[in-house]
Amino acid sequence: MRIAIVGYGTAGQALAVALSRDGHRVEVFERVPEPGPVGAGFLLQPTGLSALWELDLLDAALRHGAVVTRLFGETVAARPVMDMRYRELHPALFGLGMQRGAIFRLLDAAWTQERQLHCGREITHVDHERGVLRDAHGDAHGPYDLIAVADGAASKLRAEIGQIAFDRPYPWGAQWCLVPAGDWPWRDELRQRYRRARRMAGMLPVGTRPDDPVPRLSFFWSLPVAALAEAGRDAARWREELTEVWPEALDTLCDIAVPDGLAQARYRDTVLRRWHRGRAVLVGDSAHAMSPQLGQGANMALVDALALRDALRSAGNVPAALDVYQRGRREHLRAYHFWSRWLTPLFQSDHDRIALLRDAMFHPLSRIPGGRGQSLRILTGTRRGWFGTWPLQKAFLEALAAR
């Protein structure tokens, strides 16, 4: 088929690789003149690693990523709130911290079949019935047999294709940056520090990237969106606030310019009743944006790409394939939307009493055997629906164990 992809982020890149390898003629439209990574680092869960394994990119990812075996969060008073270890679910499992620049380059290099990447082309309209795109210059493109819209959480095309249940921004965002790992002591752990729910700082090892051999950490500093514009204007005050929460992190950030060296992130919560219309379908964050609390964005984007590929392989026509894709992905994501929405106030809000309850109950409840398994399933992306399990292939688990 002739297929158009709108957006060249993780979902769009993975789709371009997977669909072109199946023999489809793929064209990608990206609004920026020079596509590149957006964001500092993220944590690949077993679901995302499984998708890279299917694309023959697991070894390349492991060469650059940092293996993460534990997720640990504590209060400023050193009270544990979260302590999750992958091996408690399966001895072969782990997470992989990666820089956005590394995954971007790996996926970009993997798209080798008849590349057609149209840069500086912002798509403003999708004719889902005829399969035609129109860009900001007024030019038409197509017709296509299928249009996959992967233009991110702030998608401007979502309403033309999907049926929106709700779509709203989160009131809390973050500042982030990459810093050299240096002598950071927790080289295989995601570490977080909380001051009630008003302040959260995180450090994630994210390894290297092809053009930079220096191992790095991804730093995360939670703030209300309303405060992002002014945050860090007073550099001394910014460092003082961080010291109150996590003095060890400040030592690692000593060379970062404040605020110029800090990027900003904003998030959305989006749930759709319908993901496709006519010949067009939504993929990645454009279909299911959520808060970063569960760290599932890039992982679900990779899984989406392969799910759409598999639906096109198995179904007899495009409408049937899109129905199969929507049903499968919505079933997988149902619990993640719920938990992401309800966990966010526990870590990013002004509700001090909720934070105190979290500090007292979260860690003990997570140690209960039944609750422990549920928490690990959600963490790893392997919960399907409310009680089902997302299957990880035996050959994939063997590949992880071998590495």
Q: Which residues are bridge partners to 265 per DSSP?
A: 174
Average per-residue pLDDT in the chain? 93
Measured distance CA(96)–CA(112) in Å, rounded: 25
Per cent of the chain over pLDDT 70 is 100
Q: In what order do the strands lie in the sheet with 172-180?
A: 80-85, 70-75, 189-195, 199-209, 212-224, 172-180, 263-265
Across the chain, how many H-helices and E-strands are there?
Answer: 14, 23
Q: CATH topology for 2-169+267-402?
A: FAD/NAD(P)-binding domain (3.50.50)
Q: Which helix (H) or strand (E) holds 192?
A: strand 189-195
Judge whether residue 306 has pLDDT over 90: yes
Write the pLDDT tens digit of every residue in 198-229.
999 999 999 999 999 999 999 999 999 999 88
Measured distance CA(198)–CA(349) in Å, rounded: 6
Higher-pLDDT residue of 117 and 228 is: 117
Measured distance CA(131)–CA(144) in Å, rounded: 5
What is the pLDDT at residue 374? Answer: 81
Q: Kindly state the average pLDDT of the residues 59-67.
A: 97
Residue 224 burial by CB count (10 A; 0-12/13-18/19+): exposed, middle or buried?
middle
Q: Which residues are bridge partners to 388 per DSSP?
A: 384
DSSP 187: T
Write the pLDDT tens digit of every residue in 91-114.
999 999 999 999 999 999 999 988
Write the pLDDT tens digit of every residue in 244-282.
999 989 888 988 888 888 999 899 999 999 999 999 999
What is the pLDDT at residue 251? Answer: 86
Write the pLDDT tens digit of every residue in 38-54.
878 999 999 999 999 99
Domain ranges for the chain, please list them. 2-169+267-402
Write the pLDDT tens digit of every residue in 138-162.
999 999 999 999 999 999 999 999 9
Of the pLDDT bands very low, low, confident and very high (cuts 50, 70, 90), residue 294 is confident
> Which whole-number Å values give the CA distances from 368 to 66, 83, 364, 365, in the listed order?
29, 12, 7, 6
pTM score: 0.94
Judge whether residue 382 has pLDDT over 80: yes
The angle, 0 to 180 degrees and rounded to 10, between the axes of the packed helices 369-380 and 352-366 is: 110
Tokens representing residue 113 in the block: 């079949």
What is the pLDDT at residue 385? Answer: 84
Q: Which residues are bridge partners to 276 per DSSP?
A: 281
Measured distance CA(249)–CA(137) in Å, rounded: 46
Write the pLDDT tens digit of every residue in 338-366.
888 888 888 888 888 888 888 888 878 77
Q: Kindly state the average pLDDT of the residues 117-137.
A: 97
Q: Kindly state the average pLDDT of the residues 377-398.
A: 90
Contact present, 172 and 224 (Cβ < 8 Å): yes
Strands 132-135 and 123-127, by their bridges, are: antiparallel
Tokens representing residue 376 in the block: 């690990």
Place of tokens 């109950």: 361
Comparing C-alpha atoms, which of 123, 129, 120 is closest to residue 156? 123
Judge whether residue 286 has pLDDT over 80: yes
Measured distance CA(236)–CA(287) in Å, rounded: 40
Q: Which helix (H) or strand (E) holds 337?
A: helix 318-347
Judge whether residue 291 has pLDDT over 90: no
What is the pLDDT at residue 60? Answer: 96
What is the pLDDT at residue 99? Answer: 96
